[in-house]
Amino acid sequence: MRFANMRIYTFSTTENITLSILELENLYRNVYELWIFGYGSILWKPGFTYKSREVGMVKKYVRRFWQGNVTHRGTPESPGRVATLIDDQQVNYCFSELIRLKTLFKGEVWGMAFQLVGRTMIKKALHHLGVRECALGGYQATVVPFEGCGINGEKTQHNVLVFRASPENPYYMGPAPVKDMARQIIFCVGRTGHNVEYVTRLADFIRRHIPHDRDKHLFELDYHLREILKQNQTWLDNVLRTTRKKESWHIRTLLDKQNKISNMTVPN
């Protein structure tokens, strides 16, 4: 398994420290509390026990579907696209993005921070995420500051552990026109489910639970995927056929005429 190259950038030092996932578990062995930031499938399927969660954001990053996946949402022959965090400076200097943005901007990514309490809970979560995100996904662990919205709307701040993919990892795919991404995703399926279900479910989760998030990249990709399925019954049938039964309810709602999302327009 691919643990050896994972890095964590500690928030308490100016030096980068290279750690294996086992070393990461050891680092937090005597820590009683740890926060994990989710911005992709962790939002609806964390896969670990947690005490509480908070809606909030991390700054200086943007969410982009630039990471390839050959296990959960694709195969080596047909890799899917999944979300990762991209440094906003990297996006600003990416030629394909500059064409659209026209100007520099400061990034922010909305998601949820999951609170882990106790050695057992922390150890089990780190082991699960080490396999899921690092060994199988090609992600690295990074510690970043998080600004949360408390129960009564008061602001909170935590250092959170987040998993993101760097351009150096072998699964990194990089930027592409959103329509091209959608046409690629339509054909990708992995052992966890169809790539379409990953994108549309993430978009629906954000709309329902974090409605003030205005992630144009995510919602534009979601829109084009729904349009493709609306116009091609064969592709829709293929998505349904390769989606787990317990998840098929989500796909079936994509083209429901009573669902207001099916009538949405491209985000401005």
Closest Cα to residue 159, out of 20, 8, 34?
A: 34
Q: Is the alpha carbon torsion for 120, 141, 158, 215 positive or negative?
A: negative
Q: Would strands 33-38 and 7-8 be described as parallel, antiparallel, or unpaired?
A: unpaired
Active site includes 133?
Answer: yes
Burial of 183 (0-12, 13-18, 19+ CB in 10 A): middle
d(CA 186, CA 199): 10
CB contact at 8 A, 7 and 18:
yes
Q: Is 66 helix (H, G, I), strand (E, B) or coil?
A: strand
CB contact at 8 A, 251 and 197:
yes
Considering 54, 133, 197, 220, which one is annotated as catalytic?
133
Active-site residues: which are they?
A: 133
